[in-house]
Amino acid sequence: MKLYNKKKKIHKPLFIKVIFSIFLLLSVGLSSSAFAQRNNPLEFDPRAPQAGGLIFRAQCATCHGADARGISTIDAPDLTLIWTRSETTDSSVFDIIQQGVSGSIMPPHGFPDTEIWMLVSYLRSVAVGGSVEAFEGNSNRGQQLFTENCSQCHRAQGFGGSLGPSLNSITSRRTQSSLKNSVRAPSSAISRRFKPIEIVTSAGESVTGILKGEDAFSIQIMDSYQQLRAFEKNGITNVRRDLPSLMPVFDQASLSDSELDDILSFLNLSR
Amino acid sequence: MKHARFFIRPLHLRSLHALVAGLCLLGLTEMSLAQDSSGPSYEEIAAGFADPTRWLTYSGDYSGKRHSPLTQITLENVKNLRPEWTFQTGTTTRGRGFETSPLVDNGVLYVTGSNNYAWAIDARSGRRFWQYRRNLPNDLTYGASAPVNRGFGMLGDQLFMATLDAHLLSFDRRSGDLLWDIELADYRQGYSATLAPLIVKDKVIVGISGGEYATRGFIDAFDPETGERLWRFNTIPGPGEPGSETWPDDPDILARGGGGTWMNGSYDPELNLIYWGVGNPNPDYYGDSRPGDNLYSNSLVALDADTGELRWHYQFTPHDLNDWDSNHMPVLADVDWHGEQRSVVMVGNRNGFFYVLDRITGELLLGTPFTATSWARELDDDGRPIVLNDGSEGCVPDPWGSTNFMPPSYYPELGLFYLTARETCATFVPEEPQLVPGQASFGGVIFIDEEPSYGALRALDIETGDLEWEFTYPSPTFGGVMTTASGLVFAGDHEGNFMAFNARTGENLWHYQTGSRIWGAAAVTHMLDGRQYVLIAAGTTLTAFALPE
């Protein structure tokens, strides 16, 4: 150990450092795949997403699903959502495909660089689309409407409840029309992590909430008062799962189209 | 002289002195001295559960029943079972499992982990004697996507472990020192190895993983002293060999036909036959390039243990299109079969059928579904499945199958076979793959409908295949099963519960939340200081349970 410390104090002559630096610079310049932040050379090639899709289906779909939306039982993530994270770049996705994810079953892949870029292009093409249309509403009015109608259960811009999904940056993942549909008909598509459930305990208590977890012996829920509660199954007399969404239906009478536009404009502030 | 290595390590000497001292206090001096000298002989492994303090091979004995004669933990007291200690591995396999079956000898557990870690652990305290970690290459192929291991093989003072870069290692069991290291196959092509080596007489038997790549499966036998290969059985025949008529007449296709052998086999000492499951043909889902039955993929093979020669085979899934490897623990039993004494081998298969075969001749005695599979509901007179839906029409069991490699258990006195069933629903869309060495070639995509799926522990009457009882789990499960002669079934589920059931009725008697899905592992049990211990691996922990003193 002591020897090692001594060694560390020895300084390399300056000219060796300079030569080494030049060599490094050269190798970065010559090798397109090393070190630096890179752009996808196939970014504007319309054939790339299709070619990448073929590779994806052959090499990636067994874990990530044929639609790239992941398989939860093996912790394979939904790849259509990766672009909603601000730190995701073509280059970082390239690196993950090439190097794998340490500590997980995502292996490194020895594909040629071109094929990895094709995969990046494919993943770009299946990215969950945010809203691209202009937002017509008034975000100030929207904030007030959000506070009155939504914030009891949803969080946005740093305030609100937790019974429903957080709406922070939701417009970067969902189109305006799909968001409007979720407001007008909340039960038409309920996210997996927000399935409603009703439990009747052997003490006669009826509890409605969102299913958060379940095993053979217990159920974990967030009840409609947003309290986390867990129940032993042997203390439950009845469970109902075929319930509509806990979110109320907002029709034209309770929320007009223009008011809905105002709320979406407010939500778009956190994009 | 490999035995000399033991004396080099002062740390280990101290531990052993402590162990000996502990045993002296208990009045067990003679036994401890006797056991100090060496680990198990072949005869002791073949004696199975004769010594209740030991668990010497993957399933506890050669038969694969995973049925222990221990009875201290009973239907009445199992509710008091409590953890004695937890061992933390410090290495993860996110997305897969800690699949090991510890070997137990003289108060020491020999345990393999994910990413080719391995340990010797004090069975009393959970403290480790030594740790081994293999320096794995960065460009692992199949081994990267399944960085698991199912356990050691042990003979005398040697341990044997298969690795993710497709090597076979031998260790000194006392020090953890490496004795030899040989390559089974080139991992860069897609090969890997995850199973627990099977010791048969003076041979170490191993299989290989990698059927998702353009590889060719085999079963190998090695000399334990030198690591020299003694025989190889290729699961995909060579040109002109028997079975090659079930493939296109193309040596290239045969050379990469798949047929992995990645799960342990069982052994019948009287017949001197090894029973081993063979995996899927490659490409997995695309069959147009390999018309025919594709022997010996998706088969059970019975091999002469001395020569590796094929005695008989039975193919469960001819021309597989669904990745339903037949890599299961073959379970051997001598049973009263409708009034007649038969020597049988039983398999709960990934294709959703439960099979009973005569293990002397390979004759099919029973083949009947144990799940709601729509792939097939019956076999024809030749024992071939009458396929109703190959998966392209939707909703057949997913590629992980109706069960998988997680060990089942057989309870001889009850005539019941216990296995973990997976009820799933998938659609297979085959596509012709490009075959590149070192790249997976599944040959298509699968659409899995996760919504209606679930898992279950099922008890089957072996004479009929009828469901005696079941206990359902919220999601499809990979946990294995062990039974004990006190009428208990131990099983684990995907939500992390380790559980005990009444073997006759299926009543749940006890459960413990391990904190991580139990995947591929099944329980092991042994006596120590007069107490019965039960071990289970889950996530990054190995936990030992016992009744309060």
B95-124 tens-digit pLDDT: 788 999 999 999 999 999 999 999 999 999
For A102-114, what is the mean pLDDT? 86
Contacts of A54 in chain B (CB under 8 A): 431
| Nearest neighbour of A73 by CB, restricted to B475, B496, B513 | B475
Which DSSP string corresponds to chain A? -HHHHHHHHPPPPHHHHHHHHHHHHHHHHH-TTSSS----TTTT-TTHHHHHHHHHHHHTHHHH-TTS--BGGGTB--GGGGGGSTT--HHHHHHHHHH--TTBS-------HHHHHHHHHHHHHTSPP---SPP-S-HHHHHHHHHHHTTTT-EETTEE-SSS---TTGGGTS-HHHHHHHHH-GGGS--GGG-EEEEEETTS-EEEEEEEEE-SSEEEEEETTS-EEEEEGGGEEEEE--PPPSSPP--TTTS-HHHHHHHHHHHGGG-
Out of A32-41, B31-40, B124-133, B460-469, give the one with best mean pLDDT: B460-469
For A212-241, what is the mean pLDDT? 92
Query: Which one of A54, A73, A122, A239 would you mutate to disrupt binding with B, by most B Cβ within 10 Å of its Cβ?
Result: A73
Is B447 in CB contact (< 8 Å) with chain A? Answer: yes
Residue B442: closest CA among B419, B426, B457: B426
Task: Single out the catalytic residue among B323, B325, B398, B493.
Answer: B323
Active site residue B358: no
A143 token code pair: 């904030």
Q: What is the pLDDT of residue A169?
A: 85
Distance from CA of A96 to the nearest CA of B (A): 14
Cβ–Cβ below 8 Å for B495 and A215: yes
State percent of chain B over pLDDT 90. Answer: 84
| Cα–Cα separations (whole angstroms), residue A162 to A150, A224, B183 | 11, 10, 55
| Nearest neighbour of B94 by CB, restricted to A103, A109, A214 | A103
pLDDT tens digit string along B310-333? 999 999 999 999 999 999 999 999
**CATH 1.10.760.10 residue spans of chain A:** 34-125, 139-189+248-270
Band of residue A36 on the pLDDT scale cut at 50, 70, 90: low
Is A112 in CB contact (< 8 Å) with chain B? Answer: no
| Nearest neighbour of A66 by CB, restricted to B440, B446, B495 | B446
B76's CB contacts (< 8 A; 6+ apart) are none
Look at residue B541 and tell me whether its pLDDT is greater than 80.
yes
Distance CA B278, CA B207 (A): 9
Is B433 in CB contact (< 8 Å) with chain A? Answer: yes
Look at residue A1 and tell me whether its pLDDT is greater than 70.
no
Is A108 in CB contact (< 8 Å) with chain B? Answer: yes
Interchain CB contacts (distance < 8 Å): A and B: 97
Place of tokens 């199992």: B78
Q: What is the pLDDT of residue B31?
A: 42
Q: What is the pLDDT of residue B354?
A: 98
Look at residue B64 and tell me whether its pLDDT is greater than 60.
yes
Among all residues of chain A, which has the CA nearest to that of B437?
A110
Cβ–Cβ below 8 Å for B445 and A105: no
Distance from CA of B157 to the nearest CA of A (A): 32
- Answering whether pTM is above 0.90, one says no
Distance CA B136, CA B167 (A): 11
For A41-49, what is the mean pLDDT? 90
For B30-55, what is the mean pLDDT? 79
Query: Residue B390, class by beta-carbon neighbours within 10 Å (0-12 exposed, 13-18 middle, 19+ buried)?
Result: middle
Distance from CA of A250 to the nearest CA of B (A): 28
The mean pLDDT of chain B is 92
Is A189 in CB contact (< 8 Å) with chain B? Answer: no
Distance from CA of A92 to the nearest CA of B (A): 19
Out of B17-31, B261-275, B422-436, give the one with best mean pLDDT: B261-275
Distance from CA of B73 to the nearest CA of A (A): 22
Cβ–Cβ below 8 Å for A62 and B399: yes
Q: What is the pLDDT of residue A19?
A: 42
Q: Look at A175 and B306; give whichever has higher pLDDT.
A: B306
Among all residues of chain A, which has the CA nearest to that of B92?
A103
Distance from CA of A249 to the nearest CA of B (A): 25
**CATH 2.30.30.100 residue spans of chain A:** 192-240
Q: What is the pLDDT of residue A26?
A: 36
Q: What is the pLDDT of residue B450?
A: 67
Selected from 2.30.30.100, 1.10.3720.10, 1.20.120.850, 2.60.40.10, the CATH number assigned to the domain covering A192-240 reads 2.30.30.100
Q: What is the pLDDT of residue A13?
A: 43
State percent of chain B over pLDDT 70. Answer: 93
Point out the least confidently predicted range of A258-267, B135-144, B475-484.
Answer: B135-144
Band of residue A230 on the pLDDT scale cut at 50, 70, 90: confident
Is B443 in CB contact (< 8 Å) with chain A? Answer: yes
Among all residues of chain A, which has the CA nearest to that of B189?
A110
Look at residue A133 and tell me whether its pLDDT is greater than 90.
no
Is A126 in CB contact (< 8 Å) with chain B? Answer: no
- How would you classify the pairing of strands B67-68 and B481-484? parallel
Cβ–Cβ below 8 Å for B445 and A66: yes
Selected from 1.10.3720.10, 3.30.980.20, 1.10.760.10, 3.40.50.1220, the CATH number assigned to the domain covering A139-189+248-270 reads 1.10.760.10
CATH topology of domain A34-125: Cytochrome Bc1 Complex; Chain D, domain 2 (1.10.760)
Distance CA B101, CA B492 (A): 14
Q: What is the pLDDT of residue B67?
A: 98
Which DSSP string corresponds to B476-511? -----EEEETTTEEEEE-TTSEEEEEETTT--EEEE
Q: Is the peptide bond before B69 cis (omega within 30 degrees of 0)?
A: no
Look at residue A27 and tell me whether its pLDDT is greater than 60.
no
Cβ–Cβ below 8 Å for B95 and A67: no
Among all residues of chain B, which has the CA nearest to that of A61?
B445
Look at residue A136 and tell me whether its pLDDT is greater than 50.
yes
Contacts of B95 in chain A (CB under 8 A): 63, 74-76, 104-106
Point out the least confidently predicted range of A152-156, B60-64, B91-95, B150-154.
Answer: B91-95
Is A216 in CB contact (< 8 Å) with chain B? Answer: yes
Is A57 in CB contact (< 8 Å) with chain B? Answer: yes
Query: Which one of A215, A220, A239 would you mutate to disrupt binding with B, by most B Cβ within 10 Å of its Cβ?
Result: A215
Give ipTM to 2 decimals: 0.73
Point out the least confidently predicted range of A226-235, B15-24, B70-79, B107-116.
Answer: B15-24
Cβ–Cβ below 8 Å for A215 and B445: no
Point out the least confidently predicted range of A30-39, A238-247, B209-218.
Answer: A30-39
Distance from CA of A51 to the nearest CA of B (A): 13
Cβ–Cβ below 8 Å for A59 and B141: no
Is B64 in CB contact (< 8 Å) with chain A? Answer: no
Contacts of B434 in chain A (CB under 8 A): 58
Residue B192: DSSP 8-state: B
| Nearest neighbour of B497 by CB, restricted to A54, A65, A215 | A215
Q: Look at A172 and B328; give whichever has higher pLDDT.
A: B328
* 3-state secondary structure (DSSP) of residue B68: strand
B residues 460..499 contacting A (CB < 8 A): 471-476, 493-497, 499
For B496-524, what is the mean pLDDT? 97
Look at residue A10 and tell me whether its pLDDT is greater than 80.
no
